[in-house]
Amino acid sequence: MGADKANVPVRGVPMARLVADALVAGGCERVVAVGGAVGDHGLEVVDDLAPGEGPLGAVLSVLESARGGAGHSSVFVVSCDLPLLDGATVATLLARAAAADVDLVVATTDRTQPLVAVWSSRSIEPVRRAFDGGERSIRRVVPLLDVAFVPVAPDTVRNVNTPADVPD
């Protein structure tokens, strides 16, 4: 992209802000960004406990961050490059997480979307074991957990990887 994706504007608004707004609209009470340079978008930033170790390290960081918080039995984890994520999709996943006794609720399209997921606090130990054992792939950790899959509209979870992917 030539820039930190979080700060890439979509219709004049940085992607990180669009994603944060969708999370709030969907019912998330606290929104944080893990590490990185998210600019001044009004987002709380938590330290990445494993910088440079990929998204699984970021998932572990946010699970650790939420661990001590009152009432935080789960966290919604989403990458910052999903500018079309909407509150309805977030609310659907949160509702399923509240109703299901599982470790993880994952959005699905034609494939699983583990960076659009609600991670239960009980998933922290298996995630930590996998990470400490050298695993860095979220996709290889998902099968280790009790998972509920929730179909979502593909456009809502389409990520932006190149300037050509930025929606008009």
Residue 70 has pLDDT above 70, yes or no: no
State the CB neighbour count (10 A cutoff) for residue 14: 22
Q: Which residue has the higher pLDDT, 53 or 41?
A: 53
Q: Domain of 157?
A: 5-161
Domain presence at residue 80:
yes
**How far apart are alpha carbons 64 and 46 in whole angstroms?**
10
Tally the domains of the chain: 1
Total-model pTM: 0.90
pLDDT in tens, 71-118: 557 899 999 899 999 999 999 999 999 998 999 999 999 999 999 999
Domain presence at residue 43:
yes
Q: Where residue 60 sits, what CATH number does that domain have? A: 3.90.550.10
Domain presence at residue 64:
yes
Indicate the SS3 state at residue 128.
helix
Domain presence at residue 25:
yes
Q: Which two tokens stand for residue 96?
A: 């399923």
Domain presence at residue 166:
no
Domain presence at residue 16:
yes
**Do residues 105 and 118 touch, judged by C-beta distance below 8 A?**
yes
Domain presence at residue 121:
yes
pLDDT at 38: 57
**Do residues 14 and 7 touch, judged by C-beta distance below 8 A?**
yes
Give per-residue burial for 71-104: e unless 16+ CB within 10 Å, then b. eeebbbbbbbbbbbbbeebbebbbebbeebebbb
Only one residue has tokens 């699970």, namely 63
pLDDT at 2: 62
* pLDDT band at residue 49 using 50, 70 and 90 as cut-offs: confident
Domain presence at residue 155:
yes
Q: Residue 131 is which amino acid?
A: F
pLDDT in tens, 22-44: 999 999 988 888 876 555 667 88
